Amino acid sequence: QIPKAPRWDHESPWCPLEGGWGYEPTLPENDLVGYFEYVRNKGSCQDYDGQKTGGWTYSGKGCKDGACPGPDAPGYGQPARTDVEGC
């Protein structure tokens, strides 16, 4: 259970490559409980092979009391659609 949602910080921290000082291997794909613990504890640099930067944080733009909003949906340079019905 993650009581408050963190946000992904794509700018920090810098991640060492395999063999570099401070390198930690990617987390196993089949350990969802371990991954949730990693996210809950503001983990970084273990999300995917070859990761160069990024980690989970509970602070920054839009975060309040340790809970962060998700990113805005990309618009891809197109105007918002008004001809669809919402859920």
pLDDT for position 12: 86
Structure tokens at 19: 């063999």
pLDDT for position 85: 74
List, for residues 43-65, the tens digit of each pLDDT value: 999 999 999 999 999 988 888 88
pLDDT for position 56: 93
pLDDT for position 72: 72
C-alpha pair distances (Å), 32 with each of 1, 21, 38, 62, 78: 11, 27, 10, 27, 36
pLDDT for position 38: 95
8-state DSSP, 70: P
pLDDT for position 74: 72
Regions of the chain where pLDDT drops below 70: 1-3, 86-87
Nearest CA-CA partner of 1 in 38, 55, 37: 37
